[in-house]
Amino acid sequence: MCAAIACAVTAGNIARKLSEQGEIEAIKERAITADVVDEISTSVYISQKQRQQEAEQILATNERTDEQEAELDSIRESLERILNQTSGDSGSPRSSEFIHQAARTNRTDSAMSREGYHWQESNP
């Protein structure tokens, strides 16, 4: 009978150790799962932020392009008004060259004049 009790106690101890090891393994699995979920969440968050920054950069570039296009249109309109107001030089090759050069380089008439393009000059 003593042997049976000793055997039962030993079996109980073994069962308890196995149970504790199972609990430890379950805790390890939960920790690993939580770590993987955290890594995935972090990766998704970073990826989303990168896409958002790239989209903002694209939009900022487009806005700058629209602003530049509006400025160029304004310069073209000013040059056309000046040309239309000028009597005698209307349609002269030099005036036409001035407008086209200014439009291509996105410069004002004062900047173009400094570079040697004078829209009011008459052809020799």
CA atoms within 13 A on the CB side of 47: 6
pTM above 0.85?
Answer: no
pLDDT at 42: 92
Low-confidence ranges of the chain (pLDDT < 50): 87, 90, 109, 112, 118-124
Cβ atoms of residues 104 and 72 within 8 Å = no
Give the tens place of pLDDT for each residue, 8-33: 888 888 888 888 888 888 899 999 99
Distance between CA 92 and CA 123 in Å, rounded? 8
pLDDT at 59: 81
pLDDT at 104: 60
Cβ atoms of residues 74 and 106 within 8 Å = no
pLDDT at 122: 43
pLDDT at 29: 92
pLDDT at 39: 92
